[in-house]
Chain A
Amino acid sequence: MKRTGRVWKFGDEINTDLIFPHSAFRASPEEQCRLCMSDNRPGWAAQVQPGDLLIAGKNFGTGSSRPGAAVLKRLGLAGMAAESYNGLFYRNCIGYGFAALAAPGLTDLFEEGDMAELDLTEGTVTNLRTGAVCQGNRLSEAMTEIIEAGGMEGVLIAKGYIPKKEDSKEM
């Protein structure tokens, strides 16, 4: 499973209150996207294009269980890679079907605007401008299946816990 896209670069210790501020709790899904990183990088959310990738430093997602990974996905990001994650946030990525790799040593290899390729099966992050490759963790088959299903929602639909949406609703 691969994701290729333009890189947005963030530093260390991007916490869940930056990704999903408390004001987002009472906001619409669209407004939640606009509020994402609005304290540390105002205006960023509006610049994200579908398929872009996020590259970040250490301890990405420290903090609460709030659905920050869902907002990153809804913004249009195709996936992310970080030096390390808060374990709960990483679970949230898998749970919402948002491709995420941990790859120590990653941030020195990228500048903002580079094109990158995430290979979740091989656990590699490649800078397509420089050719530099960072070896990270390989996603287990089970986790890859969850991401490919679109997260836990897809798994629950496949298993019959959540009925499939009626065709009429999608037309």
Chain B
Amino acid sequence: MGMTMSEKILAAHAGLPAVRPGDTVTCKVDWSVCHDMFFNVDGQDLYQGVAHLDHPEKCVVLLDHAVPAPTTRDAAGAVYARAFCKKHGISNFIDVGDHAVIHQAMVERGYAAPGVLLAGADSHTCAAGAMNCAARGFGPADITYLFCTGETWYQAAPTILYRLTGALPPGCTGKDVFLYIAGIYGDATGHSVEFGGPGVANLTIPQRQSIAAMCAEINAEFAIFPCDKRLEEFLRARGDRESRPVAPDPDAEYADVREIDLSGLVPYIAKPHFIPGNCVPVAELAGLPVNQVVLGSCSNGRIEDLEIAAGLVRGKRVAPGVRFLVTPASQRIYLQAVKLGLVETLAEAGAVVTNATCGCCYGGHMGLIGPGERCLATTTRNFKGRMGAPDSEVLLCGPTTAAASALTGVVTDPRTLIKGGAQA
């Protein structure tokens, strides 16, 4: 019996010939990663007592959630992070100025790569699965152990395979693929998710990052894309010299195989306050007024997302009474957006382009919403009160829907604006 991608990566890192669903194995990970929230929350200062790390060269520390620091507590967390890296000789430290949301940093800086086993102190760490690696989130206690020893336990989960065919129609993005899947199939609790089929080739790398990141919202253990020509080209351009791609065996066993024809999709939206089984075509909610629109996050803060938004708002104005926030996923993307003129286009239309940060996605930093307000966002999560006031609402969508709705001030199916010829 063959293995899935996640089973192969776990087996390789456990030093075993095979791993099956249900097996608990100890794996040496390639990278353990944590961000500022590991250092600035009271009552979880376990790291302060750590005397020794076995493999500081395999540890990465970065600041992304609350940067630049909005409170003295956040500033103190950054002080502790820098001191921790200095004490333990961690050279993979990413500070404010070259910062990136953790999941974009993994892809931009080459940590996420085919065949890699990556452990991150953030639930959306599965985003790195776009790079054909096995990545998942851990809590602070596990991450402390990983930083000390470089290893941890994994319980292999059964895998759901999404077999993609066709190509996305105009107005649809990777986010819409995920929202469609989550709406139709609900959660994947206790399962890993893998993608395959000829349709994968038609998804850009950022679209794959978007889908993989969002799989945290259906409780997936891992979310893994195969390594194809498009990813190989991306890795070459990134400067990777070698690669250990992992493909599923032809006789790999799946808990379920689900066929998705990308060409049949329409823009999708998640209603408040949860995602699985709670997503509908955007058209069904068209006309619902919004107070704020957010484009950004590990799911949708890349150049192609900003290009979609700039393409739609160029020469127009954001609707009166609507705040349109654009948050690039990294300082490098921000700089590229400046050079490409995207920041100028967006700002001229009335958008506020912020620095790269997890920011309002987790309700912690900039752009929060007030009592009774409704926010339409390309971010990752729409739990009740997630972005601010307890009675506020968050709806989730792709970048095309977000930009279109920022122009109209109401939930808008982007296809109604791009039919005239503007490219999305």
Extra contacts, 10 of them, besides A25-B37, A39-B384, A87-B219 (Cβ < 8 A), are A17-B383, A22-B363, A25-B364, A26-B71, A62-B217, A67-B141, A91-B138, A95-B139, A95-B142, A163-B49
Nearest B residue to A26 by beta-carbon distance?
B73
Contact of A67 among B43, B187, B221, B364 (CB under 8 A): B43
Rounded to whole angstroms, the CA-CA distance of A13 and B275 in the bound complex is 11
Chain B residues near A58: list those with CB within 8 A: 189
> Using a CB-CB cutoff of 8 Å, which residues 144-162 of chain A contact chain B?
151-153, 155-156, 159-162
B316 interfacial by beta-carbon distance below 8 Å: no
B148 interfacial by beta-carbon distance below 8 Å: yes
Chain B residues near A18: list those with CB within 8 A: 383-384
Docked-complex contact A65 and B43, CB < 8 angstroms: no
Tally of A-B Cβ pairs under 8 angstroms: 141
**Chain A nearest Cβ from B198, distance in angstroms:** 30
Stretch at the interface among A27-35, A47-55, A113-121: A27-35
> Using a CB-CB cutoff of 8 Å, which residues 136-150 of chain B contact chain A?
136-142, 144-145, 148-149
Contact of A161 among B73, B149, B216, B386 (CB under 8 A): B149
A70 interfacial by beta-carbon distance below 8 Å: yes
Chain A residues near B137: list those with CB within 8 A: 64-65, 88
Interface residues of B (CB under 8 A from A): 24, 37, 40-44, 46, 49-52, 71, 73-74, 121-123, 136-142, 144-145, 148-149, 153, 157, 187, 189-190, 216-217, 219, 221, 274, 362-364, 381, 383-386, 390
Chain A residues near B138: list those with CB within 8 A: 65, 88, 91, 95
- CB-based closest 5 A-B pairs: A95-B141, A29-B43, A92-B139, A22-B363, A152-B141
Number of contact residues on A: which range applies?
Answer: 35 or more
Contact of A152 among B42, B123, B142 (CB under 8 A): B142
Chain B residues near A151: list those with CB within 8 A: 141
Rounded to whole angstroms, the CA-CA distance of A13 and B277 in the bound complex is 12
A84 interfacial by beta-carbon distance below 8 Å: yes
Docked-complex contact A59 and B187, CB < 8 angstroms: yes
Chain B residues near A100: list those with CB within 8 A: none
A74 interfacial by beta-carbon distance below 8 Å: yes
A140 interfacial by beta-carbon distance below 8 Å: yes
Docked-complex contact A152 and B187, CB < 8 angstroms: no
Docked-complex contact B384 and A87, CB < 8 angstroms: no
Docked-complex contact A88 and B145, CB < 8 angstroms: no
Q: With A161-B149, A162-B49 given, is the CB distance from A88 to B73 under 8 Å?
A: no
Docked-complex contact A162 and B50, CB < 8 angstroms: yes
Rounded to whole angstroms, the CA-CA distance of A152 and B24 in the bound complex is 17
19 A–B contacts, CB within 8 A, in A order: A13-B274, A39-B385, A62-B219, A64-B122, A64-B123, A67-B43, A67-B44, A67-B140, A71-B43, A87-B219, A88-B137, A89-B139, A91-B142, A95-B142, A96-B141, A152-B46, A153-B141, A153-B144, A162-B49
